[in-house]
Amino acid sequence: MDAPPPLSVLVPCHNEEDSIAPTVDQLRQTLAETGADFEIIVIDDGSTDRSAERVDPAKCRLIRLEHNRGYGAALKTGARAARHPWLAIIDADGTYPVGDLPRLMRERGDCAMVVGARRGRNARIPAARRPAKWILNQLANYLTGARIPDLNSGLRVIRRDLWERFEPLYPDGFSLTTTITLAALTNGYAVRHVPIEYRRRIGRSKIRPVRDTLSFVQLILRTVLYFDPLKVFVPLSLLLLLASIIVGLASKLSGEFMDVTTTVLFVTGLQMLAIGALADLVTKRLP
């Protein structure tokens, strides 16, 4: 079997002093067994604990950011320093199985990105967050036209040309993985999801459920508006046109025709359709 292509592994780290060293050691051992040429880049995102001190510079490259700039900013910094044609990302908190990274590379085929889709007891969503998570996934599935088993998994391998094409769109926060997933799917890139076991994290989670969920919704809409605006504007237009018909018929039958409301709804629906068509023409002209 041929050795996998050269791989740059990006490990963003913020206050993970208990898990960063074992993560690097596991990565080195696992990737060395594949025979691939690889590098490990740890990006210390302004940690205030001893994370940077726990990183052995003989085992990986360490990039230190002076201030905490965010998960996405750390990954973008690491990607710019990477040397190889394939990038991998993995968290430093021990939640993602390092041993599955070679499997993701083996199963890439012609895909531009392979994502580790989380499963297992620790991947279960708390009951209070399930409605928002379900709505978020359904929205992403509709807008991309694909079924997405895991929208924002932090374990994935990505072809460098895919990463670089959409890098200007990547946010500095946790939603970078969501952005590249949506960008790839709405632009015809082949993306494969491979099931992986998800483990209990070491240390404290940095996710803010309410704020991050709202950010994800905004991100999904913004990304799809950028690549496929008709998916948003056409349903809005049809909804307004349907509302104008219902209001017009109902008011006519009641004997008090609401001509102004009906007209406003109808014209607004046509405007939404026109804006969507113009936006679609603009996006199709983008490189």
- Could you report the per-residue pLDDT of 96-109, keeping only the tens digit for each? 999 999 999 999 99
- What mean pLDDT, rounded, does the chain reach? 87
pLDDT digits (tens, 9 = 90+) for 23-52: 999 999 999 999 889 999 999 999 999 999
DSSP-assigned letter for residue 122? G
**Contact criterion met (CB below 8 Å) for 63 and 41:** yes
CB environment 203-241: b (16+ within 10 A), e (fewer): eeeeeeeeeebebbeebbeebbbbbbbbbbbeeebeebb
pLDDT digits (tens, 9 = 90+) for 46-81: 999 999 999 999 999 999 999 999 999 999 999 999
Helix, coil or strand: residue 286: coil
| Sequence-ordered strand ranges (E) for 162-267 | 191-197
- Distance, CA of 11 to CA of 42 (rounded, Å): 5
Q: Which two tokens stand for residue 91?
A: 């968290």
Domain ranges of the chain: 7-227, 230-285
What CATH class has 7-227?
alpha beta
Contacts of 109 (CB under 8 A, 6+ apart): 190, 192
pLDDT digits (tens, 9 = 90+) for 157-169: 999 999 999 999 8
| Helix (H) / strand (E) containing 31 | helix 20-32
Q: Which residues pair with 197 in a beta bridge?
A: 119
